[in-house]
Chains A and B, each alone.
Chain A
Amino acid sequence: MIENSDFRIEEPDLSSKYDVDLIRRFLSPLGFYFDESLVEYSVILYNLNDDIVGVGSCLGKILKYVAVAPRFRESGAFAHIVTHLTEHVMNHYQQAFVFTRPDNILRFEGLGYRHIASAQPLISVFEFGYKDINDYKKYLGTIRSTGGEKQVAAIVMNGNPFTLGHQYLIEKAAVENELVYVFVVETEKSVFKFGDRYEMIRRGTRHLPNVRLVKGGEYVVSCATFPNYFLKNETPDMVTQKQAELDIQIFCKHIVPKLGICKRYVGTENYCATTQLYNQAMKTILPFKGVELIEVERKQLTEGVAGDFISASKVRQAIKNDDAQRLNQLLPQSTIEYLKEMNLSAIEQQLKTADLRH
Chain B
Amino acid sequence: MELKTKAQAGSFESSDVLILVEPVEKGAGRIIELKSIVMQQFGDDLLGQIHANLDDFKIDDVRLIINDKGALPPTVSARLETALKRAAQLQSGTLK
Q: Mark B1-40, 1 if CB is under 8 A from A, else 0.
A: 0000010100111100010101000000000000100000
List residues of chain A with CB under 8 Å of any chain B CB.
Answer: 4, 76, 79-80, 82-83, 86-87, 90, 111-112, 128-130
Do residues B12 and A83 form an inter-chain contact, with CB atoms below 8 A?
Answer: yes
In the assembled complex, the Cα of A83 lies from the Cα of B19 at a distance in Å of: 11
In the assembled complex, the Cα of A130 lies from the Cα of B87 at a distance in Å of: 14
Apart from A112-B12, A128-B67, what are 13 other A-B pairs with CB-CB below 8 Å? A76-B13, A79-B11, A80-B11, A82-B12, A83-B11, A86-B8, A87-B8, A90-B6, A111-B12, A112-B18, A112-B35, A129-B20, A130-B63
Nearest residue, chain A, Cβ from B37? A110
In the assembled complex, the Cα of A76 lies from the Cα of B22 at a distance in Å of: 27
> Which of A4, A87, A129 has the most B CB atoms < 10 Å from its CB?
A87
In the assembled complex, the Cα of A112 lies from the Cα of B14 at a distance in Å of: 11
Do residues B14 and A76 form an inter-chain contact, with CB atoms below 8 A?
Answer: yes
Of A79, A82, A129, A130, the contact of B14 (CB 8 Å cutoff) = A79
List residues of chain B with CB under 8 Å of any chain A CB.
Answer: 6, 8, 11-14, 18, 20, 22, 35, 63, 65, 67, 69
In the assembled complex, the Cα of A82 lies from the Cα of B16 at a distance in Å of: 14
> Which chain A residues lie closer than 8 Å to B13 at the CB level?
4, 76, 79-80, 83
> Which chain B residues lie closer than 8 Å to A79 at the CB level?
11-14
Q: Give chain B's interface secondary structure class.
A: strand
Q: List 28 A-B contacts (CB under 8 A).
A: A4-B13, A76-B13, A76-B14, A79-B12, A79-B13, A79-B14, A80-B11, A80-B13, A82-B12, A83-B11, A83-B12, A86-B12, A87-B8, A90-B6, A90-B8, A90-B20, A111-B12, A111-B67, A111-B69, A112-B12, A112-B18, A128-B67, A129-B20, A130-B6, A130-B20, A130-B22, A130-B63, A130-B65
> Which chain B residues lie closer than 8 Å to A76 at the CB level?
13-14
A126 to chain B, nearest CB (A): 12
> Which of B8, B11, B12 has the most A CB atoms < 10 Å from its CB?
B12
B30 to chain A, nearest CB (A): 15
> Which chain A residues lie closer than 8 Å to B69 at the CB level?
111-112
Do residues B67 and A112 form an inter-chain contact, with CB atoms below 8 A?
Answer: yes
In the assembled complex, the Cα of A87 lies from the Cα of B35 at a distance in Å of: 18
> Which chain A residues lie closer than 8 Å to B6 at the CB level?
90, 130
Q: Nearest 9 A-B pairs (CB), nearest first? A: A112-B67, A83-B11, A79-B12, A79-B13, A111-B12, A76-B13, A83-B12, A82-B12, A130-B22
A1 to chain B, nearest CB (A): 14
In the assembled complex, the Cα of A128 lies from the Cα of B65 at a distance in Å of: 10
A311 to chain B, nearest CB (A): 42
A113 to chain B, nearest CB (A): 9
Q: If the complex has contacts A112-B67, A130-B6, are A83 and B18 also in contact, measured as CB distance less than 8 A?
A: yes
In the assembled complex, the Cα of A83 lies from the Cα of B14 at a distance in Å of: 12
> Which chain B residues lie closer than 8 Å to A86 at the CB level?
8, 12, 18
> Which chain A residues lie closer than 8 Å to B18 at the CB level?
83, 86, 112
> Which chain A residues lie closer than 8 Å to B35 at the CB level?
112
A238 to chain B, nearest CB (A): 30
In the assembled complex, the Cα of A76 lies from the Cα of B96 at a distance in Å of: 22
In the assembled complex, the Cα of A86 lies from the Cα of B65 at a distance in Å of: 14
> Which chain A residues lie closer than 8 Å to B8 at the CB level?
86-87, 90
In the assembled complex, the Cα of A76 lies from the Cα of B14 at a distance in Å of: 7
In the assembled complex, the Cα of A111 lies from the Cα of B65 at a distance in Å of: 14
Nearest residue, chain B, Cβ from A130? B22
B78 to chain A, nearest CB (A): 16
